[in-house]
Amino acid sequence: EIVMTQSPATLSVSPGERATLSCRASQSISSNLAWYQQRPGQAPRLLIYGASTRATGVPARFSGSGSGTEFSLTISSLQSEDFAVYYCQQYSNWPPYTFGQGTKLEIK
Amino acid sequence: EVQLLDSGGGFIQPGGSLRLSCAASGFTFSSYAMAWVRQAPGKTLEWVSTISAGGGTTYYADSVKGRFTISRDNSKNTLYLQMSSLRGEDTATYYCAKYHGNTWDLFDYWGQGTLVTVSS
């Protein structure tokens, strides 16, 4: 089973600033990585797939990068609606699909 | 507009059974594999099960294998999860999820979730 590790667990950033979240895979997953956003009380929402492709309707301030075992999600200028929990998911080697433990992005 | 409506959750005693449903609309349900993903309170997401578009192929997480059964009725555009021998560690919000494309990779739409609480 591939283990996904996200860091940091919590990130405090001010609105308008840039945020960078990290995700590491326990073995190479090529670019088979997705990022999801989950706001309180809501279902996850797909943001990024293929490590760097934005899903339909996702604002351009969200960008993903990386391949192999190291990945990152960057939000260029934080808006109020961006403060949420973010999860990475690998789909390279399944079953099982595995998710990271999440990064909570909070207002500083 | 794609919509997935989860239902069937509730409070159940350990050892009991429950069936979850997910009513789909806004896309050709019979063309897509579907999955169930759960989230225990305050925890991360955990993939539970996957079923092929036609229903003939299924996969399960080791934690639920032999206890849960995924199925679908393409004539009713509905996905199901039959859960039996429920344990406290099955307590979670259960989401149905649609696969992004023809490959079984990631989930582009999710239901709103239905909460299952297993407790005596």
Q: How confident is the model at residue B101 (pLDDT cuts 50, 70, 90)?
A: confident
Hey, is B90 helix, strand or coil?
helix
pLDDT at B103: 77
Chain A CB within 8 Å of residue B108 CB: yes
- With an 8 Å Cβ cutoff, are A32 and B105 in contact? yes
Task: Test A46 with B47 for CB contact under 8 angstroms.
Answer: no
Tens of pLDDT along A57-89? 999 999 999 999 999 999 999 999 999 999 999
- DSSP structure class, residue A95: S
In angstroms, the Cα distances linking A100 to A90, B18, B31, B35, B87 are 9, 28, 29, 18, 24
Q: What is the mean pLDDT of chain B?
A: 96
Number of H helices, E strands in chain A: 0, 11
Residue A90 at interface with chain B, using a CB cutoff of 8 Å: no
Q: What percentage of chain B's residues is helix, strand, coil (to nearest 5)?
A: 5, 50, 45
Which positions in chain A touch B62 (Cβ < 8 Å)? 96
Q: Return the percentage of chain A with pLDDT > 70, whole number.
A: 100
The string of pLDDT tens digits covering residues A6-44 is 999 999 999 999 999 999 999 999 999 999 999 999 999
How do residues B67-87 score in pLDDT, each as one tens digit? 999 999 999 999 999 999 999
- How far A104 CA lies from chain B's nearest CA (Å)? 11
User: What are the structure tokens assigned to A40, written together?
Assistant: 């309180």
Residue A4 has pLDDT above 80, yes or no: yes
- Where b means 16+ CB within 10 Å and e means fewer, A61-97 reads ebbbebeebebbbebeebeeebbbbbbbbbbbbbebb
User: Who contacts B6 (Cβ-Cβ below 8 Å, separation ≥6)?
Assistant: B20, B21, B22, B94, B95, B96, B111, B112, B113, B114
Is the pLDDT at B104 greater than 90? The verdict is no
- At B105 the pLDDT is 87
Q: Per-residue pLDDT for B64 more than 90? A: yes
